[in-house]
């Protein structure tokens, strides 16, 4: 496996050269298969109010969750990584205390929270009680959000290894070795799992860890691929953005590129894909809306103060686009025109990608707070203060919200009675 030099610009790690790909799988328990009719079902369409199985709820990455009570909330439980140190193999040695926090978001499936931290621990935690069910540990850290796909918890690590872990037991099912660090959260459709890496590669694997295809981007892929239709009657596409300042549509069935649209600046987040348009944020303080075939720019919003980076991924519901930016604001934009409907000022950069539920916006900030805003007006309805800044995004399912902070504390909130 070839390592690559890297450097940082504006907090984004950029790759100086692409890496070669090495493929490796280790067989484990055989995952459940689906019939051909299920191949066209996206994660978003199967994720009901009781599940939130991937970053931004998967599929088209609209960031819309099932119903949530409130807006006032209370703490149901909190889980500290420092209370769950990695076991040591050295006799009489003190256990290693896990302190790094959460960069990736939690997900929720069937009453279980799955969250991975920068110290390399992926944990399953009971949503109701906050009790740990199991922990799966690697030497490298995890920056990506897990995706739960038919009994497998799937995510890549910072050494470039993609892991599939049995959701029930926490045992490794298989691994796939890519050519570079994986920050990109995985998305899925049917039996296909799609993700990118820092070496400008885009992969599609099946549930046995076999590579179905790979494709190339022009630079690092930081965000999750969104899955939707590029044109009526076409098979689904994976929409991938990254540090090459382009939005690519790749046929999920074949891996062939359908188009690449120049955006003018790097795109650290993920696109939101609707039936007739795609919305994405870029560096230079822009939010761009394209036609789904990539041929037309429908509008551009350039009202971000000082051209600050739009690091987060947009959420879309009820005709409103919600996006956080590094000018410390959260913006509500009209989906049809890009007109600013409202803005809300926090005291820190907003790298957290908002989630929308029941007419409310839930979003974190580096100022240590989780905010609940009215979707229509942007008015603050409630807030929660964490122990440190929040860059992860919320997960909402089964009447609860889960989010982690950069100190390694995972919080579960529920509506106040």
Distance CA 349, CA 340 (A): 19
pLDDT at 30 (0 to 100): 31
Sign, CA torsion 182/106/364/140: negative
Listed residue (171, 212, 170, 172) closest to 195, CA to CA: 212
In this predicted structure, the answer to whether residue 47 has a pLDDT above a threshold of 90 is no
Residue 121's Cβ-count burial label (10 Å; 0-12, 13-18, 19+) is buried
pLDDT digits (tens, 9 = 90+) for 111-143: 999 999 999 999 999 999 999 999 999 999 999
The Cβ of residue 19 has, within 10 Å, a number of other Cβ atoms equal to 20
Residue appearing with tokens 């298989």: 174
* pLDDT surpasses 60 at 48: no
Go through the domains of the chain in sequence order and give each one's CATH number: 22-415 (2.130.10.10)
| 180-184 average pLDDT score | 97
Q: Alpha-carbon distance 40 to 344, whole Å?
A: 38
pLDDT digits (tens, 9 = 90+) for 326-351: 999 999 999 999 999 999 999 999 99
More confident of the two residues 228 and 27: 228
**pLDDT at res. 5:** 34
CB of 144 closer than 8 Å to CB of 186: yes
Residue written as token pair 């390399």: 120
Closest Cα to residue 322, out of 337, 307, 335?
Answer: 335
Asked if 162 contacts 24 with a C-beta cutoff of 8 angstroms, the reply is no
256, 243 Cβ separation under 8 angstroms: no
CA distance linking residue 163 with residue 31, whole number of Å: 14
Rounded mean pLDDT, 99-111: 92
pTM of the model: 0.87
pLDDT given for residue 46 in this prediction: 38
pLDDT at residue 91, as a whole number: 54
Residue 152 in this model has a pLDDT that exceeds 60 = yes
17 has a pLDDT exceeding 70: no
Structure tokens at 211: 């590579």
Mean pLDDT of 258-278: 96
Note the pLDDT of residue 311.
Answer: 97
The rounded mean pLDDT for the chain is 88
pLDDT band at 189 (very low <50, low <70, confident <90, very high): very high
Whether 403 has a pLDDT exceeding 80, the answer reads: yes
Q: What average pLDDT score do residues 182-190 get? A: 98
Residue pair 269/239 in contact (Cβ under 8 Å)? The answer is: no
Task: Tell whether the model's pLDDT for residue 89 goes beyond 70.
Answer: no
Examine the pLDDT at 1 and tell me if it is beyond 90: no
Q: In the predicted model, is pLDDT for residue 25 greater than 90?
A: no
Of 43-52, 134-143, 165-174, where does mean pLDDT reach its minimum?
A: 43-52
User: Strand runs (DSSP E) across 245-338, as ranges?
Assistant: 246-251, 257-262, 272-273, 277-282, 286-291, 297-301, 315-317, 320-324, 329-334
Q: For the chain, what percent of residues have pLDDT higher than 90?
A: 81
Q: Which residue has the higher pLDDT, 187 or 4?
A: 187
What is the three-class DSSP state of 38?
helix
């Amino acid at each position: 496996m070839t390592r690559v030099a890297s450097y940082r610009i504006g907090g984004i790690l950029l790759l100086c050269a692409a890496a070669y790909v090495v493929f490796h799988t280790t067989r484990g328990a055989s995952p459940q298969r689906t019939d051909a009719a299920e191949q066209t079902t996206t994660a978003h369409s199967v994720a009901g109010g009781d599940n939130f199985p991937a970053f931004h709820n998967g599929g088209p990455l609209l960031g819309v969750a099932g119903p949530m009570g409130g807006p006032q909330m209370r703490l149901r439980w909190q889980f500290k990584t420092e209370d769950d140190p990695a076991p040591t193999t050295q006799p009489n040695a003190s256990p290693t205390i896990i302190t790094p926090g959460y960069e990736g978001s939690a997900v929720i499936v069937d009453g279980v929270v799955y969250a991975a931290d920068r110290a390399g621990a992926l944990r399953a935690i009971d949503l109701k009680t906050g009790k740990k069910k199991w922990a799966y540990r690697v030497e490298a850290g995890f920056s990506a959000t897990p995706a739960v796909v038919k009994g497998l918890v799937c995510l890549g690590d910072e050494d470039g290894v993609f892991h599939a872990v049995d959701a029930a037991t926490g045992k490794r099912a298989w691994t796939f070795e890519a050519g570079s660090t994986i920050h990109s959260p995985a998305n899925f459709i049917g039996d296909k799992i799609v993700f990118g890496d820092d070496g400008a590669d885009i992969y599609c694997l099946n549930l046995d860890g076999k590579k179905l295809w790979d494709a190339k981007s022009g630079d690092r892929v930081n965000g999750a691929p969104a899955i939707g239709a590029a044109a009526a009657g076409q098979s689904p596409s994976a929409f991938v953005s990254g540090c090459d300042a382009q939005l690519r549509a790749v046929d999920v069935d074949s891996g062939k590129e359908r188009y690449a649209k120049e955006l003018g600046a790097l795109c650290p987040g993920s696109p939101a894909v609707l039936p007739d348009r795609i919305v994405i944020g870029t560096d230079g303080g822009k939010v761009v809306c394209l036609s789904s075939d990539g041929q037309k720019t429908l509008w551009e919003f350039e009202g971000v103060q000082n051209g600050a980076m739009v690091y987060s991924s947009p959420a879309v519901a009820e005709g409103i686009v919600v996006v956080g930016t590094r000018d410390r604001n959260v913006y509500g934009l009209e989906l049809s025109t890009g007109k600013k409907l409202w803005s809300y000022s926090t005291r820190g950069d907003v790298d957290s990608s908002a989630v929308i539920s029941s007419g409310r916006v839930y979003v974190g900030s580096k100022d240590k707070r989780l905010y609940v805003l009215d979707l229509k007006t942007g008015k603050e309805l409630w807030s929660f203060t964490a122990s440190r800044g929040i860059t992860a995004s919320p997960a909402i399912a089964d009447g609860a919200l889960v989010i982690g902070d950069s100190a390694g504390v995972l919080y579960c909130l529920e509506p106040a009675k």
